[in-house]
Structure 1
Amino acid sequence: METEPLALDVLYVLLLASVVLCGALGLALRRASRRHSVAAPTNPSHELVATEVDRTGRQHEMQLNAVLAERDQALAANQHLYSQLIELQGSMEARMEAEVDGRLAAALEARLEAAVEARVAAVLETKVETGVAARLAEASAKALARFAPRDTGQVQEPPGAPPQSPAVPHQLPLGRDCAADSTVDGADLGPLIVRAASVRGPRQREDGEHRRDAVMVRLVEEIPSPTLLSVVAAGAPRGLWSQSAAQRACRSLAAQLGHYGERLGGVLDRGRDPDPHTATPPAGHAAVGDEAEDGELGGLLRAAVQGVGHSIRLVARDEGGATGVGADAAKTEADVGVDVALTALLSELGDHQRRRHVAFGIGDTCVLRLRNGVWETVFAGVREARLPTGVGELRCARFETRPNDLVAVCTASVAELLLREDLGEWFALRWARGRPHLTEFFSDVNVRVRCTGGDRSVVCLWDFGEARRAPEPA
């Protein structure tokens, strides 16, 4: 069938319009359904879609949470590994530090030990060399002191002395009472060094006279505490038997003191003065018989000296031939010349910081003390008195010595030399060492220096307080 072209066009237009309208309606419906699904879905299909979306979202959320949890676990494990790494690094650093410190300490210790060993070896080598040099020097000094006439470190000759001292006698003495030209004695008694010498005087040598002095050092065994007795006796210058009288006086005094040993020991022990400022009385001022000073000690000493005087009278009787008594006996004593000046010293032995001494005597002999290079008189008797007749003039004194003091019990001629300013200093220097050889001490006493006195007799005591402080033997 045939259709009109216009109708076909209209039909096409209507069909096109219907298509457009249907499309517009469909678009409107789609927009409306979208708005309705957002606002309040009522379409089940839409709900199913929403549910599926929700389920899918939750799955994705769970997966995301699982991933996040794995990430957190990985971060925690990483943090733990990092902490372990830091700890391991610290431990390694500490071990390395300790190892380095240990190796450094070992190296330093090794270097220090090596340095110390080298230093010790050097010091020991130096000390050995110094010791060897000192020993060689000491040996040389000893050899010089032994074989040379004088020690090179001191004054060779005293002031005013000619060369080639000491003096040597050129002739033997004359007379029936002759004794040796010189005698020397001594002992090292711990802290107390004792030297004694008696030498014929220069004038007596020139005149051919014999020595009339005597010295003696003895231990008084009868006194309970160890006590040393030092005695110097000077006979009459021109006495015929004065040397025998001096010798007899020394020996008799030791025997007489022994008779009173127990009582003397008690008196001497009671004599210690607790006050060091009043321990040393004035020289020679403690008179025998003065009870205010020391009457009991003085009585014992006077009794002993009376026995000495009786013994000297026996010398006059035996040697001079006296048989009578009274005036005849006194005349014989004057003829044979047995007058003796006597000084003795009792000294306690042992270690003492303040050593006690008792000096007593009759005549012009005396006791000197050297302290700090200065000589001082600590005891002097009555110059005009003599034994055997002058027992009533006996004097005594207590005094003390400190370590490094020197005491000299001497006759007037030696005291004259020691108290001279120039010679006293020379003797002080010579005797400063404190332990001279016997021959050296004898040479010092026998030095060729003129003096107004006659024979020279002296006993010297060096006090060192304790035995360990005494000088070693040269």
Structure 2
Amino acid sequence: MEIEPLVLGLLCVLLFGAGVLSAVLGLGLRRGSYGRGVTAAAGPPREVVAAEVDRTRGQYEVQLTRVSGERDQALANSRHLHARLTQLQGSLEARVAAEVDGRLAAELEARVQAGVEARLAADVEARVQAGVEARLAAVLEERVEAGVAARLAEALGRAAARFGPRDTVEAQQPPGPPPQSPAVPHQLPLGRDCAADSTVDGADLGPLIVRAASVRGPRQREGGEHRRDAVMLGLVEEMPSPTLLSVVAAGAPRGLWSQSAAQRACRSLASQLGRYGEHLGTVLGPGTHQGLRTDTVPAGHATSPGEAEDSELGGLLRSALQGVGRSVSLVGLNEGGGTSVAATGGGTEADSEVKVALTALLSQLGDHQRRQHVAFGIGDNRVLRLRDGTWETVFTGVREARLPADGGEVRWARFETRPEDLVAVCSPPLAELLLREDLGEWFADRWVGGRPHLTEFFSDVNVRVRCAGGDRSVVCLWDFGEARRTPTPNA
């Protein structure tokens, strides 16, 4: 790169010298011609002129020879320099090509190596991650199995102490937690008033999920006695706002027509509430709770008859249940041909067979963050609420009162539920199971935050554990506040 300008400058100098020589020779020739013309005009001697011409010619020939030699030498030098320049250019191009090829090869090799390293690193990372995940899964599975085994052993120990028989007549039960499979009756009930061994019902009403079941008790199955409880779900269509009615009716344990009386009480209550539906909607609607029970009722609290007399709601509920009592009193007359029982009491000895404990719950439908409920009834049925994993009693009636004789002994109470709360309207035997420490936890684990299928709910109510009471009847309401927060059904 440094030789090329020098060679080009030398060539330019030589060419310029050749041009100058050519100009000098041309000028000399012109002067010779002019001299000859002048001499001829002046008339010098020809010999002098000829000699001068020869001398001048000789000088110019010598100069021309010298200039030609110099030109040839300059041309030779120019060809040599051109050859050298060509050689240098070829060498330079070869060096540049070699340098470019080397750099390209190095860059390509670096990129290929980087790509290979990246793929190797990704492959190694994926394999390491897969190995770590597999190891973690194995460790978690071992810990879960260990935890399940520990919990199962603990449950077996508690069940062995708590789920045993209550008297020596009953067969010994193997220790273990409450099985999830339902008990199956081994004989059909006797009597003309018998009904199905079990019944189950339910509905998904937006954010309010409701399930109901009534199951013949274990002792009744063994003795061939029929189920005497009844449950019912329905909507009070006559009320201005959508309202759900949940009813649990428990007939007398030894009553001849208890099943018919319980079913009659449920149907009659729905009819009676329909008669007072517009007035009930007025006192139950939003903004009408001043002066009444507006907050959650403490555990075990129920409004007394005297307080209920002073409120419109208490009067409406008392009138409805008295009408139910009159309807129940006709069961003995229609079914057995006996004398009916008046609402105020009195009658024959056979009239005692027609006695019903009735508890009902009116619940607002729709999306509510604080849902209003009104519980009312006669007898020892209970309304429980599951909140934060703990069962608490929010309503219970007068224990000894029964329809039809005690229609005026109605009690009622307002309470609220928040999202994720569970309300259970239940007969005394099932309330006993829910309030037991061990079984209450088991039911809470099964039901909290759930949306069970009907068969699953029936299996839970019909769990094979001993209890001192009779039939198990319950209506459960799961409150999720808003329909969009309601979980999907269990798979």
Q: Could you say which TM-score interval applies, normalised by the shorter chain?
A: 0.5 to 0.7
Secondary structure of the corresponding residue to residue 408 of structure 2: helix
Does structure 1 conserve the Cα–Cα contact (< 8 Å) formed by 2:308 and 2:412?
A: no
Does structure 1 conserve the Cα–Cα contact (< 8 Å) formed by 2:355 and 2:404?
A: yes
- Indicate how the Cα distance of structure 1 residues 393 and 327 shifts in structure 2: closer, same or farther if over 3 A, else same: closer
Does residue 259 of structure 2 align to residue 243 of structure 1?
yes
Please tell me the residue identity of whatever aligns with 2:201.
Answer: D
Does residue 437 of structure 2 align to residue 415 of structure 1?
no
Secondary structure of the corresponding residue to residue 290 of structure 1: helix
Q: Deviations over 1:234-271 (max 9, x none)?
A: 00000000000000000100010000010000000156
Aligned residue in 1 for 2:76? none
The structural deviation recorded for 1:284 is 3.6
In structure 2, distance between residues paired with 1:303 and 1:326: 15
Structure 1 segment 1-400 matched on structure 2, within 5 A? 159=159, 160=163, 162=174, 165-270=181-286, 279-282=295-298, 283-290=300-307, 295-323=311-339, 330-332=346-348, 334-335=350-351, 337-400=353-416
The structural deviation recorded for 1:289 is 5.0
In structure 2, distance between residues paired with 1:336 and 1:325: 9
**Between Structure 1 and Structure 2, how many residues are aligned?**
333
Higher Rg:
1
Does structure 1 conserve the Cα–Cα contact (< 8 Å) formed by 2:301 and 2:394?
A: yes
Does residue 479 of structure 2 align to residue 467 of structure 1?
no
In structure 2, distance between residues paired with 1:342 and 1:267: 22
The structural deviation recorded for 1:438 is 0.5
Gaps of 5+ in 1: 1-110, 127-151
Q: Deviations over 1:115-152 (max 9, x none)?
A: 9xx9xxx9xxx9xxxxxxxxxxxxxxxxxxxxxxxxx9
Aligned residue in 2 for 1:436? 452
Worse overlay, 318-327 or 220-229: 318-327
In structure 2, distance between residues paired with 1:190 and 1:158: 38
In structure 1, distance between residues paired with 2:444 and 2:308: 37
Does structure 2 conserve the Cα–Cα contact (< 8 Å) formed by 1:193 and 1:434?
A: no
In structure 2, distance between residues paired with 1:273 and 1:324: 39
After superposing on structure 2, the runs of 4+ consecutive aligned residues of structure 1 that deviate more than 6 Å are 155-158, 324-329
Does structure 1 conserve the Cα–Cα contact (< 8 Å) formed by 2:386 and 2:423?
A: yes
Aligned-pair Cα RMSD in Å: 3.5
In structure 2, distance between residues paired with 1:437 and 1:302: 35
Q: Deviations over 1:77-130 (max 9, x none)?
A: xxxxxxxxxxxxxxxxxxxxxxxxxxxxxxxxxx9xxx9xx9xxx9xxx9xxxx
Does structure 1 conserve the Cα–Cα contact (< 8 Å) formed by 2:341 and 2:351?
A: no
- Indicate how the Cα distance of structure 1 residues 329 and 269 shifts in structure 2: closer, same or farther if over 3 A, else same: closer
Secondary structure of the corresponding residue to residue 269 of structure 2: helix
Q: Deviations over 1:189-246 (max 9, x none)?
A: 1100100000000000000000000000101111110000000000000000000000
Does structure 2 conserve the Cα–Cα contact (< 8 Å) formed by 1:310 and 1:388?
A: yes
Aligned residue in 1 for 2:105? none
The structural deviation recorded for 1:434 is 1.6
In structure 1, distance between residues paired with 2:367 and 2:450: 16
TM-score of the pair, normalised by structure 1: 0.64
In structure 2, distance between residues paired with 1:228 and 1:252: 16
Aligned residue in 1 for 2:139? none
- Indicate how the Cα distance of structure 1 residues 402 and 272 shifts in structure 2: closer, same or farther if over 3 A, else same: farther
In structure 2, distance between residues paired with 1:311 and 1:392: 15
Does structure 1 conserve the Cα–Cα contact (< 8 Å) formed by 2:296 and 2:414?
A: yes
In structure 2, distance between residues paired with 1:325 and 1:450: 35
Please tell me the residue identity of whatever aligns with 2:311.
Answer: G
The structural deviation recorded for 1:320 is 2.3
TM-score of the pair, normalised by structure 2: 0.62
Secondary structure of the corresponding residue to residue 393 of structure 1: coil
In structure 2, distance between residues paired with 1:387 and 1:439: 32
Aligned residue in 1 for 2:55? none
The structural deviation recorded for 1:330 is 3.9
Secondary structure of the corresponding residue to residue 266 of structure 2: helix
The structural deviation recorded for 1:329 is 8.8
The structural deviation recorded for 1:291 is 5.8
Q: Percent identity?
A: 75
Please tell me the residue identity of whatever aligns with 1:343.
Answer: T
In structure 2, distance between residues paired with 1:253 and 1:400: 23
